[in-house]
Amino acid sequence: MKILALDSSGLVASVAVMENDNLIAEYTMNYKKTHSQTLLPMLDEVKKMIELDLSTLDAIAVAAGPGSFTGLRIGSATAKGLGLALNLPIVPVKTVDALAYNLYGTDKLVCPLMDARRNQVYTGIYSFAKQENASDYQLEEILPQCAVELQEIIEKLNTLGKEVIFLGDGVTVYKEKIEELIKVPYSFAPASCNRQRAACVAALGEELFAAGKIQTAAEHEPDYLRLSQAERERLEKQC
């Protein structure tokens, strides 16, 4: 199967094309231009470079949240437009899961951190485990992706008591605070594997596609993990 993957959930814009475990192309940018200006031109460039015939694609995987609301919508709207025109299903991939997948196979815990503003991070805790008789590791959620305060996730890691690797743009924002609060052995992933990559979205997307976890392009929408400010304030007033 051939899958196109997009990730514009954070500061990074990334596009990948993967065919049967073979990463044919990946284009990742971490630059100040808005995703609206970069994502589709990047895809166009990839298409030209690898002479991609769009009609040979089987699915479009997209980092479907959490993340920057606008960034998520640029990725999802692009995926929906492609899905509509090419009559392809969408494979929504959890953003934090895909970020964790960067560290495939580690025996440490993995804790991705994305800056979620309002004093919170989008995060989760993961490990890689092998099923009996299996040759490949599976990504396992110890704490599924969520929006919490940094302190809360660090306390959870301290309770778990195992060595952890942090990654994601939240590390840049919270490094000092992490070092101050963490009580277990820890490290920060290097720049080669500490940001969103569409290849990770594609790889997880392939697994999800095989498991039938797909949506139509019409029904797909991002999973923000958060209400809008107006909805939140309205609910608070009602309580």
Partner 1 sequence: MKNEKDVLILAIESSCDETAAAVVKNGREVLSNIISSQIALHTLYGGVVPEIASRKHIEKVNQVVEEALKEAEVTMDDITAIAVTYGPGLVGALLVGVSAAKAIAFATGKPLVGVHHIEGHISANYIENKELEPPFACLVVSGGHTHLVVVKDYGEYEILGKTRDDAAGEAFDKVARAIGLGYPGGPKIDKVAKEGNPEAISFPRAKVSDAVYDFSFSGLKSAVLNYLNSCEMKGIEVKQADVAASFQKSVVDVLVEHAMLAVKEYGFTKLAIAGGVASNSALRSAMQEACKKNGVTFYYPSPVLCTDNAAMIGAAGYYDYIKGIRSGYDLNAVPNLKLGER
Binding site for partner 1 (CB under 8 A): 34, 36-41, 43-44, 54, 69-70, 73-74, 76-86, 217-218, 221-222, 224, 228-231, 234
Q: Which is nearer to partner 1, 20 or 229 (CB)?
A: 229
**Beta strand 164-167 pairing with 59-63:** unpaired
* Closest approach of partner 1 to the CB of residue 85, in Å: 4
Q: Which is nearer to partner 1, 43 or 150 (CB)?
A: 43
Q: Which is nearer to partner 1, 50 or 86 (CB)?
A: 86
Report how far residue 195's alpha carbon sits from residue 28's, in angstroms, rounded to the nearest whole number: 10
* Closest approach of partner 1 to the CB of residue 69, in Å: 6
Q: What strands lie across the sheet with 186-188, from one edge to the other?
A: 137-149, 120-130, 109-115, 164-167, 186-188
Q: Is 142 helix (H, G, I), strand (E, B) or coil?
A: strand
Q: Which is nearer to partner 1, 36 or 106 (CB)?
A: 36
Of 32, 36, 37, 90, residue with least CA distance to 65: 90
How many helices (H) and strands (E) would you count in the chain? 7, 10
* Closest approach of partner 1 to the CB of residue 189, in Å: 30
* Closest approach of partner 1 to the CB of residue 93, in Å: 17
